Structure 1
Amino acid sequence: MRLLLIEDEPDSLIGMKNAIDSLYNVEVELHTSNNAEDAREVIFKHYPELIITDIMLPGISGLDLIEEVVNKDYQPKVIIVSGFDNFEYARRSIHFGAVDYLLKPYSTKEFTEKVDRTLSLIKEEKKQLQYTEQQKSFAEIGTRSMRDNDLVEFCLKRTPLEEHLYHRLCLWNIDWLANKSYSLLIFDVKGYPDGKLYTEENQLKTFAIGNIMQDVIRDHIHSLLFKDPKNRWVLLTTIEDTEEIARSIHKKVKAYQKIELAIGISTKVSSLEEMHAAYSSALKEFQINSLTNSEDYVKSHHLISTDFTTANHLASLVINKDEECIRQVVKVFFQEVILIDGLESRDDITRKTLNYLSQILASISEQTLKELKEIPMSVWEKVDECTTLEEYEKVLSEYLTSVGHAVSTHGTNSIIERAIRIIHSSYMEDLSLQMIADELSLHPVWLSQLFKKETGQTYMDFLTETRINKAKTLLRETSMKVYEIAESVGYQNLQHFGTIFKKRTSQTPKEYRYGK
């Protein structure tokens, strides 16, 4: 507790100082002054809680000094010391809040009793103020805790905006969630897609990240922070440029705390009900960003799921030794694992990766009619050691490339041989490339490319040639009518058959039959 003695009589000042030192040696931080000018400097530097001042001082009086320094933000307790029993002095003392009046001459006992009584009053007021502030703090924490619990609930499940919920939003001054467009962002330490362990070190990191985020968004009215069940920071904000605010937070956290952040950003939503969808979207982006070395923020709504990642299609690429396409499909696969399938941990990614690899090997074996070995233990170990998406992609791509080189080149021919057998047995039907691709468990685009590579013809050219060759045989060796031959080789339109036949042979079917 800080105390200031102001007395221009040296003996009196020493006496007061000794009395206080003997009673409050440790408890009181004591300052002394023998004039108003020096006292003013002490007051504005230390802001003593108790000032004991003589009225008669060199320059200005003690009363004038107190009236000068007391204001609404600084109201110390004051004991006035005077050699005059003057009512006007007493009245002025009471006016600016003096708690006692000590008339000279006074005894040491009288002096210490007044000081002790005033110090006790200060202690009691401090205690009461602390209690009031504590209760206010508890109330604020309780209110914020209730608010955050509800916000977490809104994130975890779709919640219609009912009247009682709107009243709560208004109570917490966040009713803008019901009538403005906003985005949801998720932040946490990079490398923990499924949440950090609950340790003291991680708690300190979370606290530090939150402080920096709060500082960044301080001037943005419609922004608030809370933590999700995995202790990740969630930011709700109406800020338009969310990527800019994310970069600002990322930059400051990295600069001040040396922490690399993973970030997920949702698209804008415009209702409380959509908070769940926004959270799910941001969480998927966060999980990918958490598992990648890149600082770019993945946009889940920009990624298009395709059937290019099927095990059968990737098996075809492996057989064809298309290394670039293998890498591309593997990359998309891992994005789909997180964005579409979702994940709980790295163990989930490892399990799905090995299952996917088993399906690819089975498809390669089926397509090449060649039995392959099981996944080597070394590959299992490499997959299990992966910590980022780049590492998963590298291990899987390199292994599949090696499998492609190990598979006999006859494997590719066998695929086309099977396709040709299907054409020869079903050319008379409405046979499309998609039907053959489905039969062979291949993607039609890749089958088309492979067919042209192996035969030198497009699929349609080969099918047409097969049909026309069969028609030529039937025209020369049977007495079937031309329209019957057309139907038997897959053409339901006689005119179309005639056009195709002449284009291929430079003769009409009738001319060919009679050898013209």
Structure 2
Amino acid sequence: MRLLIVDDEVIIRTGLASVITWHELGIEILPPAASAEEALTRMADERPHILMTDIRMTGRTGLELAEEGLKLLPELEVIILSGYDDFSYAQQAIRQGVTDYLLKTSKPEEIIKTVLQAKQRITERWAEKSREGQLLRENRQRLFTEWIINGDVESGPCPVFLQQGMNVQSDCYSGKEQIQRQVLILKAAGWSRSSAALLNFAVQNMLEDVLPGAIAHMQKNRIICVVQLPLNKQEFQFTLGIALNRIEQLLKCTLRAAVGLPCREIDHLHESYRTASMAYRYHGLLEDKIWKYEDVMHRKGGKTVLHHEEETTLGTILLDNDSIMLTTWIQELIAELMLDPEVTPESFDACLHSVVNAGQRWLIRTMRAIGREDLERFEPWMPDPDAVVGELRDLLFHHLYGLMYAYHSQMGQGRTTHVQKAIAYMESGLAQDISLQHVAGQVHLHPGHLSELFKKETGVTFGDFVTEMRIRRAMDMLVVSPAKVSEVAAISGYEDVKYFSRLFKKHTGKTPSEYREEALSYKPS
């Protein structure tokens, strides 16, 4: 695709022609023209597809050049170069059919985006005009999807574009060294959301230019690429890194690639895609630019649930309405998960869900403690599957902050008694110190006064209330947790498991083991 730059200022026209590596974008740069008159004399022979012209020049203006150029080449894409003083003039040019405009002060990446948009429009027009070409492209995309993504190798003969250098049938191997291929899945970022499709289009085109034998295919917000491996496979990751760096530098973007298992036979390309897809799921957990399936295939999974101490700490932070400590707690938890060499996307997601559930349980307990059980339905925790760690961290903070705000906004409505605040504090933690002296200090009352108020408002003593609360929590844990009875006792605040068992039977009529066995027997399978 050919680009002609026209400007009567030599610095501008030579700068635009040389500062950007146009050929790596699939653009052939024609010798720049110094005037509209020169451009018009050359256009019939050189037939540029894109014209980038200054709006004010000695002799004919850029608008006059555009008008004459469009008569000569109706499919010409015209980009006007404008100074700040010509802004309204440029707007008028667009109304007259000029494709787009650029300020002369535009950064190289802005110029690249504008030219790539023009290139994409031309490509789309060519496809529309050439029904045969469009059908071929659609058929190639369909075959790529069937063979590589879906693995439907029985759907028909092997596509010609996949056959070069590879075994089509596993029984035809002649002993000659065969070319190996593997599938990459790439994620491109760095442009605005509205330009994401254009960025993927540009990356797809450049991959096929910078990686010999590459076949690229866009799938939603990622790029699937079949690449040809050199005989020395150890060099490939280095070569791929250089190629991605070139594309990043030119397009001012960031690229990351997950690499599947290599294969010699076309029938196995789907397996390479499948393993690349599994590796791609780690893009939010790894900082590497390029990583292989072999790097993550043996991971067994990290922590999936919060420990009781962590849930207690979270409850205390939410009760204290401390957004700074909440931010720090989330950052430390995610850093811990990320540092675990066994972490997988499944275990990471499960642990974040555990945090969300812990926050929701805290809100239910504390709201019940202050006599308010008319909670609105919780917003579901459904992060974007492509979200990176930083985005997940922010989403988790906003979710927990919403729970914290829901509680404290209710506390601010109407009068909340000291006893209700004390109960909310006790309900917010699991194994923390819930002695009368400690809780009284949290609500700023003398222990004796709190004890009197507690008996008056609840009808039971502070000690009996704490015992009932601990037994209630133990009952819940025995049903939903596989923890041993001794562990449940310790979590509930009892170091002596025999004393705990006697107390539990006194309140429930059953031993902890009997209660668990009976509860599980009624639990639906």
* Range into which the TM-score falls when normalised by the shorter chain: 0.3 to 0.5
Structure showing greater Rg: 1
TM-score by length of 1: 0.40
TM-score by length of 2: 0.39
